Chains A and B, each alone.
Chain A
């Protein structure tokens, strides 16, 4: 039986509806259980003495003063931990040529960025550990510091890792068609230099871990704020020499991740190593400064790009030269080359054109390592593509919507393979654009813009089409050799009272995974979502899975839950048919009752079935299968990724005296396939947009030439705040993927992908009459005034 998704009145029609989040009330009541809420007997705290310099040889460590602090139990240097914890190397086989040196849990001999952990201090209280950490004396012998991306490969630039031969971590060139010939024959070739600033994720809950080692069982239990519990199980097992089956990672509530919590951090592995050595629970909670200097950074790119168009605005070629600096190590195990690689994969994404060249150059620097952060590479690729398209439109005097319509893949063109060799199963660029035009009333907005200009107000409209990569297959990491599961599983069982428990390998980070899973399982089995309890984030309990990243939770974890729920429904109905002496195909489960499928007449509540199965199994026919528990796994197989698409628009006003940009309104129409919970999707889009707006207008990590991070606090690192956020209108087009019964693709990154480009284009639309243009993010008031030549040095 398939689900008639098109019929909203079908029985148990929970998929597609906004159902309450089962965990919302608990979290609002303060009953969440975050790592820092957990207190174990004999628990101790670890704090880290971190490198205050960007690059130096460690020539001596004096721990005497630190040891004297009351409450201090033990101190560990890099050499101490290296004896029990092997180093790791952040490379993947399919990213050809990617290189990175071994990285240790604590710096051994050499520190390579400000914030790198050097000495771990364990004490009975956090305060004592911090106090002692501040008294650790390390002799640093300065080494030359490399901070600039564009000169990292120059012959006169010192090498960060002399053993590697150069400062190049990774380079990939992709060429399709003949870009040079296309440019030579083009009506117009427009070029621009783009810059996206270094960001970090700023999770409300900082990175947190509490690790216990039970010597009697030789088992490690890590309570960890992570997106990928099973991946971390492997990592701890491998580097601390523990059988994988003796590592249990438990991930309760998580206060936001955005990709920050899907990587291996030296201080977290050090915490686990110390727990094993000391045989007692050790807790590490990053403080805000540690978050700024050690959470992964992202988006630090400089790009030269060109677009060639003909007289009709048809795109003939796109040519991209992308550079990014990733810090001194490629981050383990997902690597720091993926972001640049994504830029190559995603540029030009919405458009049907023939000639494409893109190169990414990934270099080492003495700054905090960068890695995957929400919408990996997307905001960069979309800014490049959409910035170029708008510049081309302006150059030939065409409306920005019109030029997009002339180039986007037709809605009936699928399946199709893009010049970047991405395969699209089914997208809806034109339908999405139509819907956007309707939602924003584009023509009226243009009229308002003209009227405002007459009053001396400079308003702009910016459009940004985009694609989003979701539901990744093993092509993302697995084929490169990483033990990161692209498959996910769900176990669903019915208990005697007719209630249902579902255990899933995808995890909850605050985004509503539990709600999404509960409504899918509810519909799959035929009970109300309130009868379903969800368990996630425990490697010893849930089916093996990848966790939460790359917008895979609903599309992959959700499909596994649906299949498991449907299988349980079948098991229940088989028992019901025997009990009722009925034909199984004539029975259904609706709202917790066995009913006649045709008439809906109630035959038996699930409680009764549960009572018989669990307590009076003697009354059932011998040999009747009675497993009221089913597990299903799901992995995508036909496409490496399920691409989604959408289009965003920004309307804003630029104050040309102060340079301040006021966001007036923002729209997003997106197509994530089947929508399971409209409210959750809207929340993802809105939250994603806010992070994208942060990148466009506010967020930038600053370093000086010595590699000192200059704005490691919330008073200086500007995040978008509610007061600056515009009203947002979110619309949907639904093109389900045919790969799964559920048909859901991901929605977690679409907002972040398109928002910066929409804002950039809107600012430039406002500035164009004054002959000014900005392409360097964030678009701070000062940068805008400089573009307007209102201030000079």
Chain B
């Protein structure tokens, strides 16, 4: 590490103001950012902690929706969705370990858009809206490739509203050491169709598997996608799995998600 300044505003407005400083960066749970600083992969001179902003915390149910404050921890999401939102509950309760879930936030996760992050797949599958201090952005437009989002400099994710599906399942095939998804598939059956969000797999970050969505929308059963296959082109390859293996897993995990949700 190296020296930096840290501020702890208590409102979004104050935070936005603080972020206008030179080389300022928001800090939420720090579960991604702190290790990055330790490795000196990022060296901001000012950290603006969002953890004291009450208006960014908490979960509110709307008609068919769930609005999660950007500063809400994975642990709180897991707690609030137990029994009511199976896919999101599984997703939140399997991120890291209890310490990670006690600090890490949904806002930090979607803003970071790690190609192996779990939340982006739920956002895609649940037609989420990402709320920021200036605007609302549809998930389909928000995630723009590995570690890239629609966020502007100094823009803060204040909340995420997800459409609550009739049925859902999150299937995570874990990298054995980090336990991040090697492939994570979020299957959501909505009244108006099925959405499938895939994370961990693509060089372009989270994506929706359109062919599967179409097949499952007319027949929500694992057999419906039996004949489909995923192309390995543009999928990630690393020590833990080749693009071909990931392509294979996407289908396996999707089928398991459908079976689990049915």
Could you tell me which A residues sit within 8 Å of B by CB distance? 657-659, 698, 702, 710-711, 714-719, 721, 724, 780-782, 785, 790-793
Contact = CB atoms under 8 A, between A and B. Distances in A.
Interface in B192-248: 239-242, 244-245, 247-248
Contacts of B249: 658
A116 B240 CA distance: 27
Contacts of B147: none
Contact of B177 (A714, A780, A782, A791): A714
Interface in B144-183: 173, 176-178
Given A711-B239, A781-B245, A718 B252 contact: no
A793 B244 contact: yes
Interface in B21-78: none
Given A702-B239, A710-B239, A716-B239, A785 B177 contact: no
Contact of A718 (B177, B241, B244): B177
B245 A791 contact: yes
B248 A698 contact: no
Contacts of A702: 239
A519 to B, nearest CB: 39
B239 A785 contact: no
B248 A790 contact: yes
Contact of B244 (A721, A780, A792): A792
18 contacts: A657-B252, A658-B249, A659-B245, A698-B176, A711-B239, A716-B177, A718-B176, A719-B177, A721-B176, A781-B241, A782-B241, A782-B242, A785-B245, A790-B248, A791-B242, A791-B245, A791-B247, A791-B248
A355 B248 CA distance: 46
Contacts of B247: 791
Interface of B: 173, 176-178, 239-242, 244-245, 247-249, 252
A139 B130 CA distance: 50
A657 B226 CA distance: 13
B244 A791 contact: yes
Contacts of A698: 176
A790 B248 CA distance: 8
A658 B239 contact: no
A724 B178 CA distance: 14
B93 to A, nearest CB: 15
A423 B16 CA distance: 78
B38 to A, nearest CB: 12
Contacts of A719: 177
A270 B178 CA distance: 35
B178 to A, nearest CB: 5
Contacts of A718: 176-177
A442 to B, nearest CB: 30
Contacts of A791: 242, 244-245, 247-248
A500 to B, nearest CB: 46
B100 to A, nearest CB: 13
B243 to A, nearest CB: 9
Given A658-B173, A718-B177, A782 B252 contact: no
A793 B252 CA distance: 18
Nearest to A697: B176
A346 B245 CA distance: 37
B204 to A, nearest CB: 21
Q: In this complex, which of A698, A719, A791 has the most chain B Cβ atoms within 10 angstroms of its Cβ? A: A791
A780 B240 CA distance: 8
A719 B252 CA distance: 25
A790 B244 CA distance: 10
Given A791-B245, A793-B244, 13 more contacts: A657-B252, A658-B252, A659-B245, A714-B177, A716-B177, A717-B177, A721-B176, A781-B241, A781-B245, A782-B242, A790-B248, A791-B244, A791-B247
Nearest to B1: A127
B83 to A, nearest CB: 25
B178 A715 contact: yes
Contacts of A792: 244
Nearest to B256: A657
Nearest to A717: B177
A792 B245 CA distance: 9
B225 to A, nearest CB: 13
Nearest to A134: B40
A785 B252 CA distance: 12
B68 to A, nearest CB: 28
Contacts of A785: 245, 248
Contacts of B177: 714-719
Q: In this complex, which of A659, A714, A719 has the most chain B Cβ atoms within 10 angstroms of its Cβ? A: A659
Contacts of B176: 698, 718, 721, 724
Contacts of A710: 239
Nearest to A660: B173
Contacts of B178: 715-716
Q: In this complex, which of A658, A710, A718 has the most chain B Cβ atoms within 10 angstroms of its Cβ? A: A658
B97 to A, nearest CB: 11
A793 B244 CA distance: 6
A793 B243 CA distance: 9
A282 B252 CA distance: 55
A715 B178 CA distance: 5
A761 B178 CA distance: 28
Q: Which 7 pairs between the two chains have the least Cβ-Cβ distance?
A: A782-B245, A657-B252, A791-B244, A715-B178, A791-B248, A718-B176, A718-B177
A698 B242 CA distance: 16
A719 B178 CA distance: 11
A774 to B, nearest CB: 15
Contacts of B245: 659, 781-782, 785, 791
B144 to A, nearest CB: 26
B179 to A, nearest CB: 9
A60 B246 CA distance: 45
A782 B246 CA distance: 9
A650 to B, nearest CB: 18
A719 B176 CA distance: 9
A782 B232 CA distance: 14
A793 to B, nearest CB: 6
Nearest to B253: A658
B228 to A, nearest CB: 15
B217 to A, nearest CB: 24
Contacts of A657: 252
A702 to B, nearest CB: 5
A793 B178 CA distance: 26
A135 to B, nearest CB: 13
A791 B240 CA distance: 15
A111 B247 CA distance: 41
A711 B238 CA distance: 10
Q: In this complex, which of B176, B242, B247, B249 has the most chain A Cβ atoms within 10 angstroms of its Cβ? A: B176
A658 B178 CA distance: 18
A790 B249 CA distance: 11
Nearest to B242: A782
Contacts of B252: 657-658
Contacts of A782: 241-242, 245
A109 to B, nearest CB: 31
Nearest to A131: B2
A134 to B, nearest CB: 10
Contacts of A780: 240
A350 to B, nearest CB: 32
A717 B244 CA distance: 21
A785 B239 CA distance: 15
A69 to B, nearest CB: 13
A371 B50 CA distance: 50
Contacts of A790: 248
A441 B178 CA distance: 37
Nearest to A782: B245
Contacts of A717: 177
A724 B244 CA distance: 25
B132 to A, nearest CB: 31
A790 B247 CA distance: 11
A713 B143 CA distance: 29
A515 B151 CA distance: 61
A714 B247 CA distance: 26
A126 to B, nearest CB: 14
